[in-house]
Homo-oligomer: A and B are copies of this chain.
Amino acid sequence: MIEETSTQDIDRRIQMAAEAFQFLKNTTISERAEFMNAVADHIEALGEELLTVTHAETSLPLARLTGEKARTVGQWRSYAKAVAAGIYTEARIDLARPEKQKGDLRKYNVGIGPVVVFGASNFPYAFSTAGGDTASAIGAGCPVIIKAHPAHPQTSQIMADAITTVIKAFGWPEGIFSHITETSYEIGTYLTQHPDIRAVAFTGSFTGGKALFDIANRRKDPIPVFAEMGSINPVFAFQNLLETKAEALAKEYIGSLTLGVGQFCTNPGVFIALKGNPLDRFINALKEEIQEITPAKMLHEGIFESFEKNKSIAIEQPDVELIASVHTESTAGSAAAIKTRAKNFINNRVLSEEVFGPFGIVVEYETDEELMEIARQLKGQLTITIAATHEDVRDNGALITILKDKCGRLLFNGMPTGVEVVYGMQHGGPFPSTTDSRFTSVGPDAVKRFVRPICFQNWPDEFLPDELKNDNPLQISRMVDGIMNSESLKLQTT
């Protein structure tokens, strides 16, 4: 249950967010970019103390946290650059012409309204309080109400303070950013149902994400939910490649599978290959590699318990063979891998469920029909990897056509863990990997999630937003009568 004092406080903060939205709508893209760069500077300036606190809260190694902090700073800066360039403005101007009935029509994107962001536990910087969702919502002109993840409260507070400091320095309304530390189960429902909330961003479990999606769609006025809910990220390894590098591939695979104790959304949980000697070599190498892995503490007790439970469920399925498992008496996440035949994988849907942690399933197929059936019955994935030579790709056109429908990112060799924060990245795939495959939560295009278009018809130039004014004061690229340009319009202003 949420305490009544809590709901009063939350109502007050959302009210402040709604008011701050009216302020943000009237900021220019350059003002918001300046704000975002200031947040980046503040986070960058946070010293060793931050890393020490987060390390204690999450058990993530300092080197990883250092990298993630740099990535987070980079997110704020690259999203700021994209916002300043006006990319998400998508300004379209159709001038009045004698043959047109409606005269002058100008459209651009504005922020959708206050956004609730749920911090994720596995990226305490990049996907949490001051993470990519917060940066992209503010970039779009939307105030953020962050629901802090209870697994790293101090880290969350430090990040919230950084953002609040910048708000004060800019003299902007406090309501632009609110940090909610309430931990009751009901808080997610309460925030998602609140009439002034216009969108939700979430990274976490299927159960959590789907619940928010359902709540949002059952509102009197449904709102979008961008939930990234994970994936088994299958690797399809083909014969020509496997023959030449079974052992190297095993090393690469296990490295990706156990990176960060397997706590990545893009962890390659399933490896699919043809039965035979190359696959046997792969499996043998995998066994050796797994035995080298030192179990490490997971992010929090809940993740560890789920991992152990789900791993055991998978291992105990019929017709499953344990390849290797490293056990310790500690509460550390210990890596394991199992092997099963394609038929069993196809028929036993339990084996297609994500086990969040360092756990892999090797699926051995015997016929092309089995391979195709595995592809056809795959649920939506964040990533699918093809471990293949060029010849393998040529030989498997029909399969690859199917796989393209099943994922947001398709890799040719390499491993899927880790995402590059660039425009070309797509982090989001068909349901159930996310609730909306049309958007990404990584890269500057993440901003797109929080805007909607508004059209001004025959509106006097002086009252138009800067993005649509004749003289193009922001010097952004706009589509004018179907042609992209960054020019001023030489018109008589009305």
Contact surface of A with B, Cβ cutoff 8 Å: 22, 25-26, 81, 92-94, 100-103, 105-107, 110, 112-113, 213-214, 217, 221-222, 224, 379-380, 390, 393, 400-401, 404-405, 407-414, 418-420, 422-426, 428, 430-432, 435-438, 440, 445, 451-460, 462-463, 477, 479, 482, 484
Contact = CB atoms under 8 A, between A and B. Distances in A.
Contact of A94 (B214, B407, B423): B423
A413 B458 contact: yes
A425 B436 CA distance: 25
A265 to B, nearest CB: 15
25 contacts: A22-B401, A25-B401, A92-B423, A94-B420, A94-B423, A101-B420, A105-B422, A105-B425, A107-B424, A113-B405, A217-B222, A221-B430, A224-B436, A390-B460, A400-B463, A407-B454, A409-B457, A411-B457, A411-B458, A412-B456, A412-B460, A412-B463, A413-B458, A426-B455, A437-B452
Contacts of A81: 482
A398 B432 CA distance: 42
Contact of A463 (B393, B423, B425): B393
B94 A455 contact: no
B107 A425 contact: yes
A394 B412 CA distance: 58
Contacts of A425: 94, 102, 105, 107, 455
Given A221-B380, A390-B460, A409-B456, 7 more contacts: A25-B404, A102-B419, A103-B414, A213-B222, A221-B379, A400-B463, A407-B454
A414 B25 contact: no
A20 to B, nearest CB: 13
Contacts of A455: 408-410, 424-426
A102 B401 contact: no
A138 to B, nearest CB: 18
A102 B408 contact: no
Nearest to A450: B438
A380 B221 CA distance: 9
A453 B482 contact: no
A381 B422 CA distance: 36
A458 to B, nearest CB: 5
Contacts of A92: 422-424, 445
Nearest to A92: B423
Contacts of A390: 460, 462-463
B454 A426 contact: yes
A420 B414 CA distance: 49
Nearest to A105: B424
A13 to B, nearest CB: 19
A62 B94 CA distance: 29
Contacts of A102: 414, 418-420, 425
A221 B81 CA distance: 35
B105 A431 contact: no
A428 B112 CA distance: 14
B420 A100 contact: yes
B404 A454 contact: yes
A100 B71 CA distance: 12
Contacts of A432: 221
Contact of A110 (B404, B409, B453, B484): B404
Contacts of A460: 390, 393, 412
Nearest to A383: B457
Name the residue in A22, A410, A452 with the highest tally of chain B Cβ atoms < 10 Å from its Cβ: A452
Contacts of A463: 390, 393, 400, 412
Contacts of A436: 224
Contacts of A462: 390
A16 B362 CA distance: 34
B458 A414 contact: yes
Nearest to A451: B438
B482 A477 contact: no
A107 B442 CA distance: 13
Given A92-B445, A393-B460, A424 B454 contact: no
A129 B483 CA distance: 30
